[in-house]
């Protein structure tokens, strides 16, 4: 976003590594916090897995939500060609 606004962005490997590390810590903190909330159920789906196998992801989501969804229709709505497409 900064680059689109003409601002200089430090995109060095060191910065990328710091960002990846910070993100991993945040995700881990979130997972630990959610695990402590016994009344909270969570389903983690990997974005790449959804794109490569939408039917399996739809079935997992359907099972998680109570098995009343049309998984064939859900899977048909995944459009990998739209990934990274910006308006």
Supply the pTM of this predicted model: 0.69
My answer on whether 65 and 51 are in the same domain is yes
Residue 59 lies in a domain: yes
Phi, psi values for residue 43, rounded to 5°: -120, 120
| Average pLDDT of adjacent 10-residue blocks, the chain of 87 residues | 73 92 97 93 93 97 96 95 69
The pLDDT, as a whole number, for residue 82 is 83
The pLDDT, as a whole number, for residue 8 is 80
Residue 4 lies in a domain: no
The pLDDT, as a whole number, for residue 86 is 56
The pLDDT, as a whole number, for residue 1 is 63
Residue 6 lies in a domain: no
Residue numbers of the domain that contains 21: 11-41
């Amino acid at each position: 976003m900064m680059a689109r606004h003409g601002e200089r962005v430090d995109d060095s490997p060191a910065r990328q590594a710091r960002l990846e590390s910070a993100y991993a810590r945040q995700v881990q903190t979130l997972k630990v916090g959610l695990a402590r909330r016994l009344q909270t159920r969570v389903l983690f789906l990997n974005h790449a897995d959804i794109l490569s196998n939408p039917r399996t992801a739809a079935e997992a989501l359907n099972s998680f939500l109570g098995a009343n969804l049309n998984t064939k229709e859900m899977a048909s709505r995944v459009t990998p060609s739209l990934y990274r497409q910006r308006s």
